[in-house]
Structure formats: C-alpha cells, structure tokens
C-alpha cells in the first residue's frame, strides 16, 4: 500500500492500519522516499486485500472530476473513509521542499476538500483509477481549514520509484548536475554545469539550449524542475540540447540529491533545538508566592516543545501522523509556503539562542513491541528501511537468471569465440586469475592483481576484460558469496523498452550494475565502474540461444562513454568445470 513518508515516519517500522471492512491489520514498512514524501507499506493478515487500478497521471487534464479519500480530523472511527469531490485545478504544479525533503514536483492540484488526516490517501479520477496520493494543502493562517488548494503526488512519479521502494531501501531523487535559466531571448539554457557530472561528460556545456529532458519538451526552468523531481537517482534518461544551431541527443546518468549518509540522517531525523525547561522546585521546596507570572518566551517555547513531543508520541501509538511533528523537516499541508504568521505589534524581547538537546527517540515516539507477524517480514540493516524485502527481491532476480544460466559447477576456464563485427576473429578466455582477448594481430590480457583496476585492457574499452571476469565470478559464486550485492530496484536502459531489475554488486571496491529482464529473467546488460568519477564499461547481452542447459548470448556489444567500442558475435561458447 502507498502512503506519505510524513505519515509513516512517526509510526516506525511497524504500524496498524484500519480497513473499510472495520478490521485493524498489522503492517510493516517496505521502502521510503523522504524527498518525494512517499512510503510503501505491506499489510499483513490477508492475501486478498483489494487494490486500486493505477491510472496515468500524464493524461489528467484541468477540469477533470476527481475524488479524494481519507480520514480528516480522525472522524472515521469505524474506518469508513471520508470521500470528497472536486475537480483537477492544475497539473504539473511545483511545491518547494522543506530543506531537501518533502518536495512536490509535477503534482496535481485539486479543489477537493483535503484536510489534516487526508495525507497518504488516494486521489481517484472519475473512473476510479488512482492518479495521485494526497499529501499537501493550503490552509487559513489561524485555522486548519482547507481553502480549496491541495496537492497530490502524481501516480506516474510513484511508478518511477515503485521498483526502488520495493527494494526496502531509503531511496533518493535525482539531480542532473546542471542548473537552467531563461536567457534574454526566453530560451531555457544551461546556466551552470558541474564538470564531474555525467551531463558534462556527455557534452553539455554552459549556454547550451535545453530542448527536451526525459522525453518531455522543456519550455521553462520550472518544467525542467518538475520532470527532474519525478526521477530516481541513477536513472539514465534522454536529453536533447542545441548549440550553434546543431541539435545533440544523448543519454545522461542522474546523480543523487543527497549523499548516502546524509539521506539516512535526514530521513531518520536529528537533534532539535529545544530551549531548557524552566527550573522546577525540589522536593520540600515551596513554589514562589504571589501572582503567577506569565511565561517568558523561553519557557513558553519549552512548554510548546514538550507538547509537540507528547503529541508525536501519542500519534505514533495511535498509528497516525502528528501535527505538528518533530521530523527533520516539517510535514507539508499546514500552510502555503509563502504564508507568514502575523507580526506582533509588541515583539517579545530577544533571548539567548536555545541549546541543542538531542532528543531520545524512545521519549519522542515510544514504540509498542513489534508484533510477531511483523517480525517475520522485517530485518534491520543500516541504509535500508527494511532489508528483508531487499533480500527477497535479490533472491527472486537471481533465481530467474540462475535457472536460465546455471553455472555453480563451471569453475574452470570459459571460452567465447566468434567474429568481431567487421570481420576479425576473436577468442575470450576467462579464468579465476586472468582474462585474455585474442585477435589475429594482437592479444590483450588482464591479471587479477592486488588492485583489480590496475589495468583496464583493452585500451579505450573502460575495462572490458575486468568486466567479463566479474561477470563470470557472479555467475559461479552467486550474490551471497560474490561480495556486497543488493537489489537496487528497476531502471531503464538506453534504447530499450521498459524497466529492468538491477543488482548492484561490489567486489574489492569495484562496483558493477547487472540489469535483468523482468519478463525472461535474462541478463540484459552490465555496467562496471572502474572509477566512480568516470564512465563505466557497458556490455549489452543480446540474441540468446540455448547451448546445452544454458541460455547463452550470441551478441556482446561494448560501449564506453559516447562511443561503441566493439560488437562481438559469438559462434562458440564453452564453460568447463573445475579440474579434479
């Protein structure tokens, strides 16, 4: 089930969910997207929960009818949701983040009544298809009353992240590594670009005109920001730009908005600035006599902070989101980003800055013991929302591939022979200790030394022989013995249809991404990063054929940077067992 990150966070890893059948079910967190304010949870106790049909939010138009569902003001004590009706007031809206979290990009604006308690609920079109997840609204300054402006995260954005959310990870959003702006002619141009970005390596430069990005035309800087916010870190997407009247079409790898540890820290929350509490009389002491004093700004703030802590704790126990909240960033929905509180004619005197007091999470959000049903599907690991689901999908992907290419016993030499496109014959020989490419006039070798990336032969390939060595290693030992292997989620490949399951495998500090076709289970491509700041060696596996008990690719296409290195057409393939 889908909900908002700011709704799920106070509940922790386990929560209770009331359904329209009047029953309360255990649920467990699966994956979280703090930047996009989305969380994926799994309901337990049934295997036949009803599910909504996912719509296409790109087809939504202003004026379309829509319905919002939720539990505003905790009215639905019987778990029958409140349904409100409205129209789509706007599409492709942008609502800025609080810091770098809870950013609403390319979202749907509606006048359907959405109030506190609606967060995480669905927005349906007139046909009952899910087109968004409600999460943000504009309210009157002095009351939490909807003024007819609310926002839902588009379902198409969520579709981009679903594979990553299923991975059990804390997922990040993308950045291009470049900034855009209008020029004096009204064109959208690159106003800055990082030299270490993939966009720069693909040829993007200052002053280039941005034409399209990720398949959508770009006519304003806001349009670019909207598209970028719907994409996960690491995706490769098409980008078109114009320079001196000439158009260039490239694919760019997107960087992450956050560093890994930065994202973990922000998603979990950090220390808050809470003023010291006023001194309390010790046992046996009398309270000062006389008229009670009005609380000073400091003590009033302290009392408010204590109430917030209590509210958040109570909300966590009740399985709902608190408002206000002590999350790292404020939950959306309370006020328009541009609203300011009314100024007082007599501002309070300035006081000393509050001290930073780390909050004990147990004090802020006391958690009930995790139910046994949840324990079975939850595993804690640093950097993951729920590592159980990562292992589940890693196993699923590997099981599909190992059925097509069983190789556990094939620990002897592997040989692949045939012709390079262009006519020359070739032979690859792969063993535990080296990899060799023989051509009619030259032989290239890679040897497994102390540093795997000491040589990246053949030249200009990005390390083809090392990549094939790692391909062989993963096939023989599997993900559990290879090194560190985790399921990334789903990602696209250039000029290929659909999304592919991705395993990220690290062996002796060399990271490799393996892409598997979710339908056939076959390995479609791999990217080996000899240097995280350089282009990877890309190998595409095509034209699979059955050789004995295995599916073997008949075509290997190697790409490095902007150039195709070579295409190897395989006519002979032998995989030997280890010598006795």
Rounded Cα–Cα distance for residues 381 and 484 (Å):
13
Rounded Cα–Cα distance for residues 151 and 131 (Å):
12
Q: Please give the domain boundaries of the chain with CATH numbers for all domains.
A: 174-254 (2.30.42.10), 387-575 (2.50.20)
Determine contact, residues 445/436, Cβ cutoff 8 Å.
yes
Tell me which DSSP letter residue 54 carries: B
Rounded Cα–Cα distance for residues 343 and 345 (Å):
7
Question: Which CA distances in Å does 151 have to 38, 73, 87, 160, 388?
Answer: 13, 18, 12, 19, 32
H helix or E strand, kind and range, residue 510: strand 510-516
Determine contact, residues 525/509, Cβ cutoff 8 Å.
no
Determine contact, residues 422/401, Cβ cutoff 8 Å.
no
* Plot region of 367 (φ>0 → left; ψ -120 to 50 → alpha; else → beta): beta
Rounded Cα–Cα distance for residues 542 and 554 (Å):
6
- Computed from CA positions of residues 133, 135, 140, 143, in that sequence, does the dihedral angle turn out positive or negative? positive
Both tokens of 434, joined, read: 């080296």
Which residues are within 8 A (CB) of 489 and not within 5 positions of it... i.e. 6 or more apart?
Answer: 161, 163, 164, 165, 166, 167, 169, 171, 232, 501, 502
What residues are labeled active site?
6, 37, 119
Residue from 478, 273, 254 nearest 357 by CA: 273
pLDDT at 60: 97
Rounded Cα–Cα distance for residues 95 and 117 (Å):
20
Count the alpha carbons within 13 Å of 6 in the hemisphere toward its beta carbon: 31
Note down pLDDT in tens along the chain; length 580 residues. Answer: 999 999 999 999 999 998 888 899 999 999 999 999 999 999 999 999 999 999 999 999 999 999 999 988 888 788 888 999 999 999 999 998 878 889 999 999 999 998 888 999 999 999 999 999 999 887 665 566 667 899 999 999 999 999 999 999 999 999 999 999 999 999 999 999 999 999 999 999 999 999 999 999 999 999 999 999 999 999 999 999 999 999 999 999 999 999 989 999 998 864 333 333 344 444 444 444 444 444 333 333 333 333 333 333 333 333 333 333 323 333 444 434 444 444 445 555 554 544 433 333 434 455 678 999 999 999 999 999 999 999 999 999 999 999 999 999 999 999 999 999 988 999 999 999 999 999 998 999 999 999 999 999 999 999 999 999 999 999 999 999 999 999 999 999 999 999 999 999 999 999 999 999 999 999 999 999 999 899 999 999 999 999 888 999 999 999 999 999 999 999 999 999 988 7
What backbone torsions phi and psi does residue 386 show, to the nearest 5 degrees? -160, 100
Both tokens of 115, joined, read: 């109030």
Which residues are within 8 A (CB) of 570 and not within 5 positions of it... i.e. 6 or more apart?
Answer: 416, 417, 418, 552, 553, 554, 555, 556
Other C-beta atoms closer than 10 Å to the C-beta of 235 total: 19
Which residues are within 8 A (CB) of 40 and not within 5 positions of it... i.e. 6 or more apart?
Answer: 1, 2, 29, 30, 31, 32, 162, 165, 166
pLDDT at 182: 97
Report the b/e string of 392-412 with b at 16+ CB within 10 A. Answer: bbbeebbebbeebbebeebbe
Rounded Cα–Cα distance for residues 125 and 64 (Å):
8
Determine contact, residues 82/71, Cβ cutoff 8 Å.
yes
Rounded Cα–Cα distance for residues 447 and 432 (Å):
9
The pTM score is 0.83
Distance of CA 349 to the CA centre of its chain: 44
pLDDT at 407: 92
Peptide bond into 44 cis (omega under 30): no
Q: What's the per-residue H, E or C state across 307-350?
A: HHHHHHHHHHHHCCCCCCCCCCCCCCCCCCCCCCCCCCCCCCCC
């Amino acid at each position: 089930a889908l909900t908002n990150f700011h709704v799920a966070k106070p509940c922790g890893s386990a929560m209770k969910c009331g359904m329209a059948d009047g029953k309360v079910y255990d649920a467990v967190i699966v994956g979280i997207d703090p930047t996009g304010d989305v969380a994926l949870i799994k309901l337990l106790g049934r295997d036949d929960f009803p599910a909504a049909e996912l719509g296409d939010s790109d087809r939504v138009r202003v004026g379309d009818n829509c319905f919002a569902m939720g539990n505003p003001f905790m009215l639905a004590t019987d778990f029958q949701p409140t349904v409100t009706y409205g129209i789509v007031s706007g599409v492709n809206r942008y609502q800025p983040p609080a810091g770098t979290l809870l950013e609403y990009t390319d979202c749907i604006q509606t006048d359907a009544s959405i109030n506190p308690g609606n967060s995480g609920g669905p927005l349906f079109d007139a046909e009952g298809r899910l087109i968004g997840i409600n999460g943000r609204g504009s309210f009157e300054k002095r009351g939490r009353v909807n003024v007819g402006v609310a926002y839902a995260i588009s379902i198409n954005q969520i579709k981009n992240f679903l594979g990553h959310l299923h991975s059990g990870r804390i997922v990040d959003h993308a950045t291009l590594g470049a900034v855009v702006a209008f020029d004096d002619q009204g064109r959208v141009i690159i106003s800055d670009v990082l030299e270490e970005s993939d966009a720069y390596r693909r040829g993007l430069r200052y002053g280039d005109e941005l034409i399209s990005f990720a398949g959508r035309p770009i006519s304003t800087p806001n349009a670019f920001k909207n598209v970028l916010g719907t994409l996960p870190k690491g995706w490769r997407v098409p980008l078109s730009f114009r320079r001196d009247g000439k158009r260039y079409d490239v694919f760019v790898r997107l960087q992450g908005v956050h560093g890994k540890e930065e994202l973990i820290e922000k998603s979990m929350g950090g220390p808050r600035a809470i003023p010291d509490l006023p001194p309390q009389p010790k046992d046996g002491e009398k309270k000062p006599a006389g008229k009670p004093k009005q609380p000073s700004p400091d003590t009033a703030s302290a009392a408010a902070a204590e109430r917030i802590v209590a509210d958040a704790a109570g909300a966590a126990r009740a399985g709902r989101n608190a408002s206000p909240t002590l999350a790292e960033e404020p939950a959306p929905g309370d006020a328009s980003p541009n609203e300011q509180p009314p100024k007082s004619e007599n501002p309070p005197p300035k006081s000393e800055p509050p001290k930073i007091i780390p909050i004990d999470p147990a004090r802020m959000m006391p958690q009930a013991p995790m139910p046994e049903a949840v324990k079975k599907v939850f595993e804690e690991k640093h950097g993951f929302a729920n590592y159980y689901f990562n292992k589940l999908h890693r196993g699923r992907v590997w099981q599909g591939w190992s059925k097509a290419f069983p190789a556990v016993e094939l620990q002897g030499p592997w040989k692949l022979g045939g012709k390079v496109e262009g006519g020359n014959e070739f032979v690859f020989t792969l063993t535990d200790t080296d990899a060799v490419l023989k051509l009619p006039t030259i032989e290239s070798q890679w040897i497994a030394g102390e540093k795997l990336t000491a040589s990246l032969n053949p030249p200009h390939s990005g390390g083809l022989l090392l990549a094939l060595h790692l391909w062989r290693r993963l096939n023989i030992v599997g993900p559990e013995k290879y090194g560190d292997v985790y399921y990334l989620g789903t990602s696209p490949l250039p000029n290929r249809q659909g999304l592919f399951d991705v395993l990220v495998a690290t062996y002796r500090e060399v990271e490799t991404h393996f892409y598997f076709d979710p339908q056939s289970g076959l390995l479609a491509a791999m990217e080996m990063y000899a240097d995280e700041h350089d282009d990877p060696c890309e190998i595409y596996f095509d034209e699979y054929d059955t050789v004995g008990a295995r599916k073997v690719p008949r075509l290997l296409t190697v790409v490095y940077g902007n150039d195709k290195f070579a295409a190897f057409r395989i006519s002979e393939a032998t995989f030997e067992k280890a010598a006795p």
